[in-house]
Amino acid sequence: MSELTVDQAIIAQDLTKKFGTFSAVNNISFMVSRGECFGLLGPNGAGKTSIARMIFGFSPITSGTLRVLDQDIRISARQVKARLGVVAQEDNLDPELTVLENLMVYANYFRLPRNVARERAEEILQFMDLTEKADAVVDELSGGLKRRLTLGRALINQPELLILDEPTTGLDPYARHMVWHRLRQLKENGTTMLLTTHYLEEARQLCDRLIVLNRGTILEQGKPAALITKHVGAFALEIGVEPGLHGQLLSWGSPWLKASQRIGNDLILYSDQGQELAENLGLKIAKDHLRIGYQRLRPTNLEDVFLKLTGETLQGSEDETEG
């Protein structure tokens, strides 16, 4: 066990979280290597926050084992917490204090000497582009600025492992990209990250590996690109056509198809040979005078993988993400 654990920041084995009889997290196992950015991806209610909270010692595990930074979280939550940075999903800043005071008070929990705390706080303000807001009262900040402060605050103890529960929800596109950039910098400096998100672009941009969760269970795990290759291939051909014609199109497309998905009047055909698929189908459609609403060829993404795995979309993710 010990040889293995040295390289692993998190080892979850048969991890379960129950609320009464309801299993929010159902017997899941995964490992997060040191230096890695690991994603928990899934729709509302998938169990992402429940997992994050067990990892940062906020919520007791119901069964299974959970080792975080080489320690059993049930036994050593206190020691582990000192080495973690946490961005919880719900904002828990002190609204009556200023930005700088929030950082200073938080530094106090870690018993940082005042001069060290002050120095780090100033670095963090700069890093998160908040210097101008140092003396603003948190209550008067916009949601996006609060989010940035929450992220900055999580860095005050120079954590080895950052737990980020939807770090960019509520941020405008500019701020989201800024945060992504900062997270990449932290990763380059060796910080391990566990990140929950339902933004697929965020997962693709930041995560080395991820698990796709739904209703407390793991549907898949792997590298984003590998999951796309495995399940849907490189291209999606979207065709708007009445469902009665779906069978015909599927049969024509079959030599090139990797997978397909029907959503109402939309048929999505997945293939590694998107151009060939589109051209060949186009010829047949023209020859048979099929009435097609629209046709669009595009590269695939994690949304397609999720759709394929669950038959559901990750609600709202498409229009809210930024490329």
Interface of this chain with ligand ATP, residues 74 to 93, rule: CB under 6 A: 89
Residue 147 near ligand ATP by CB under 6 A: no
Phi then psi dihedrals of residue 112, to 5 deg = -75, 135
Give min distance, CB of 10 to ligand ATP, in A. Answer: 16
Give min distance, CB of 67 to ligand ATP, in A. Answer: 20
Residue 169 near Mg ion by CB under 5 A: no
Q: From Mg ion, ligand ATP, none, which one binds at residue 45 (CB under 5 to 8 Å depending on kind)?
A: ligand ATP
Nearer to ligand ATP, 199 or 256 (CB): 199
CA angle 21, 311, 20 (to 5 degrees): 5
Nearest CA among 108, 125, 126 for reference residue 117:
108
Residue in 89, 229, 248, 313 binding Mg ion, rule: CB under 5 A: 89
Q: How far is CA 101 from CA 85, 122, 162, in A?
A: 18, 11, 22
Beta-sheet strands, E only, within the chain = 8-19, 22-33, 37-41, 63-68, 71-72, 84-87, 161-165, 192-197, 209-214, 217-222, 235-240, 259-263, 266-271, 294-299
Q: From Mg ion, ligand ATP, none, which one binds at residue 198 (CB under 5 to 8 Å depending on kind)?
A: ligand ATP
Give min distance, CB of 165 to Mg ion, in A. Answer: 6
CA angle 197, 18, 20 (to 5 degrees): 130
With 0-12 / 13-18 / 19 or more C-beta atoms within 10 angstroms meaning exposed / middle / buried, residue 169 is: middle
Residue in 10, 11, 49, 67 binding ligand ATP, rule: CB under 6 A: 49
Amino acid at 285: I
Residue 198 near ligand ATP by CB under 6 A: yes
Q: Which helix (H) or strand (E) is 201 found in, with range?
A: helix 200-206
Give min distance, CB of 194 to Mg ion, in A. Answer: 13
Give min distance, CB of 221 to ligand ATP, in A. Answer: 16
Query: Per CB under 6 A, which region of 48-56, 128-136, 225-233, 280-288 contacts ligand ATP?
Result: 48-56
Q: Which helix (H) or strand (E) is 168 found in, with range?
A: none
Output DSSP code: residue 262. Answer: E
Interface of this chain with Mg ion, residues 43 to 72, rule: CB under 5 A: 48-49
Residue 24 near ligand ATP by CB under 6 A: yes
Q: Which residues bind ligand ATP (CB under 6 A)?
A: 19, 24, 42, 44-50, 89, 198
Q: Which residues bind Mg ion (CB under 5 A)?
A: 48-49, 89
